[in-house]
Amino acid sequence: MGPNHSYGLTWTQLLGPGAVFTARATGFSGRDDYRAYVGETPSVYIDGGFNPNDPMSSNGLIYQFRNAYTVESNYKSRASLSATLDLFKTGLFSASDSHAFRMGIEREQSGDEEGSRFPGGISYNGYSDAGEIFTDFVQLGGGYDIRAWMDRTAAFVQDTWTLNNRLILRPGLRFEQFKGRGYGSSKSVWSTTTLAPRFGFTFALTEGQRSLIKGSWGRYFDGLTVAFFDRAIPGAYKVETRHYWGAGDPFTLNNPEAIGYDPDPYTSLNDISTLDPNVKHPYVDEATLSYEQRIGDLWSLTFTGVHRQSKNLLVRYNRALLEDTDPANALNAYNPISGTVVHLFNALNDAQDYYITNSSAAKRAYQALSVSADRRFADHWTLFTSYTHALRHGNLNRSNGYDDAFVNPNSQINFDGRLPGYNDDEFKARFSYELPWKMRVSGSFTYLSGERWTPTISTFRDNNGSRWNILAEPRGTEKYPARRLLDLRVSQMIVKNKQVSAEAFLDVFNALNSGSALSWNTRRNDIRTDVATDPGANDVYSDYQKPTSVEPPRNLRLGVRITF
């Protein structure tokens, strides 16, 4: 269920020949809930791949237990007021200069309500391995109930300063204050103040503006969301206990409640965290530089370089984590890809003392070089092409909030490298051709070299009952298959006059019917044998590289657009 509402109101007032005042009020509220299928019937979750035709599959589980794994509720709201003044002034510093100033203030408040729990407060968990399903553990309690307000106050000033017909400068400065707190509390859990300078320029190498150099540098702070401080809100997260369910035995799922579980928990999970009182707001420094060259009357060529560096990234540590140094309790995993044994961190205790803070060890950066050629519309056709070579690297992929990679050292094995979410190489071509009888044919072709992924290995449980999925190679060593996407459109103008126009069109998406895998199961090993010190154990997990999502198939869309 997801109803939502939005509103907006804008008032614009001329304050003379060189000033415009704009006031704006906007708001949004929306709900997205995931309810239980059958009341408080306990849920069952099986980790691993499934055959939809197998009665033991996920479909079979839904049929037999008729309930969702978790019950979730989500409600978000946002209301903002802003006032902007645009000023235009010539001859301020010299007879030939001109300025387009923009200055403004903004005030915004947003609400976030998020809840998640197991139906009946309990969840049975098994795992699938080599075509069989085994008992694993039972979860009691847990979940979260987040209720938070976030306030943002901002002020900014910027200028487009034209010194002459060859040089334009764009200085700017933005101030923002962010606060986050739980419902019913006046004390802020999150409180940061930021100052973001920005500067850009355009310089014409020739009087005719045919050769241009453009550059910019700016600091951009992340927008505040509840993900920055959710676990530090008092009472938002509940303690979860985990209990042994069988002993890894094969089982049927006719009646999971009839299968007893150990009433004494083997571990408890308490995600309640402390937020560093001196935490700094995460931000990105971005620098761009481009060269544009007009060729003849129709063509332009552009070369662009981009560098983005994330800083003050947030991480979460467990300050109570202690290592078991007893050689008899050593925990090892055999890596079938490298042919080596990985020595794992084995926790001595299961105490949790989580601390959210900034870390200089958390890294993320992006660099890209691109070239594009653009032909403006003439003689019935137009064309745009571009090629980009990019690199996104570091160790934290999460772009909003804090990351848990530093909670346990096992998460940091091979965790430096190329991050997902980008393609090394990207080529695009868009064209349009207008036929004499008011018909237009257009298309877009995109080549993507495939996003990065990393094989993982799964371990047996450590002293605290935790199973780890470890990166078997440096992050991003592998790539998904390349994608080749061709979209086509044919449109025919039916009616066009001053009052009304009507156009019929046919779209063909993924005309080549590319079926590239977009993601697949990355677990390489069979945990029953690969987690060992025996190099002879090298069974491959049956679902390794089994696609979990693929390119949508070719599809058509026929429609009519009427404008009046």
pLDDT tens-digit profile of 131-168? 677 788 899 999 999 999 999 999 999 999 999 889 99
Between 541 and 396, residue with greater pLDDT: 396
pLDDT tens-digit profile of 60-91? 444 445 678 889 999 999 999 999 999 999 98
Between 99 and 65, residue with greater pLDDT: 99
The structure's pTM equals 0.87
Q: What is the mean pLDDT of residues 82-108?
A: 92
* Domains in the chain, number: 1
Q: Token digits for 541?
A: 């997990």
pLDDT tens-digit profile of 180-213? 999 988 899 999 999 999 999 999 998 888 999 9
Instruction: Find the length of the chain.
Output: 564
Written as one letter, the residue type at 293 is: Q
Q: How confident is the model at residue 255 (pLDDT cuts 50, 70, 90)?
A: low
pLDDT of amino acid 252: 65
pLDDT of amino acid 159: 96
pLDDT of amino acid 233: 94
Q: Under a CB-based contact definition with an 8 Å cutoff, are residues 509 and 487 in contact?
A: yes
Distance of CA 194 to the CA centre of its chain: 23
Q: How confident is the model at residue 254 (pLDDT cuts 50, 70, 90)?
A: low
- Give me the domain span that covers residue 438: 4-563
Q: What is the mean pLDDT of residues 163-174?
A: 94
Q: What is the CATH number of the domain that holds 176?
A: 2.40.170
User: Does the pLDDT at position 228 exceed 50?
Assistant: yes
Q: What is the mean pLDDT of residues 47-71?
A: 55
Longest CA–CA separation in the chain, Å: 89
pLDDT of amino acid 331: 82
Q: Token digits for 401?
A: 């909030």
State the sign of the Cα–Cα–Cα–Cα dihedral 341, 346, 352, 358: negative
pLDDT of amino acid 468: 80
Phi, psi of 298 (to 5 degrees): -115, -30
pLDDT of amino acid 535: 52
For 435-497, what is the HEC assignment? ECCCEEEEEEEEEECCEEECCEEECCCCCCCCCCEEECCCECCEECCCEEEEEEEEEEEEEEC
Per cent of the chain over pLDDT 70 is: 90
pLDDT of amino acid 351: 85
Q: Which residue has the tokens 């467990």?
A: 318
**Cβ neighbours around 194 below 10 Å, total:** 18
Q: How confident is the model at residue 50 (pLDDT cuts 50, 70, 90)?
A: very low
pLDDT of amino acid 528: 52
**CA angle centred on 347, ends 539 and 535, rounded to 5°:** 25
What whole-number distance in Å separates Cα of residue 113 and Cα of residue 39? 22
Q: Under a CB-based contact definition with an 8 Å cutoff, are residues 149 and 183 in contact?
A: yes
What whole-number distance in Å separates Cα of residue 428 and Cα of residue 370? 11
pLDDT of amino acid 41: 81
pLDDT tens-digit profile of 118-135? 998 998 888 776 667 778
What whole-number distance in Å separates Cα of residue 289 and Cα of residue 301? 14
What whole-number distance in Å separates Cα of residue 382 and Cα of residue 375? 6
Distance of CA 328 to the CA centre of its chain: 42
pLDDT of amino acid 1: 57
Q: Under a CB-based contact definition with an 8 Å cutoff, are residues 17 and 8 in contact?
A: no
Q: Token digits for 544?
A: 């390794």
Which residues, in sequence order, are CB contacts of 521 under 8 Å at separation 6+? 49, 541, 543, 544, 545, 546, 548
User: Does the pLDDT at position 347 exceed 70?
Assistant: yes
Q: Which residue has the tokens 């977009």?
A: 518
pLDDT of amino acid 51: 45
The DSSP H or E segment spanning 62 is helix 58-65
pLDDT of amino acid 218: 98
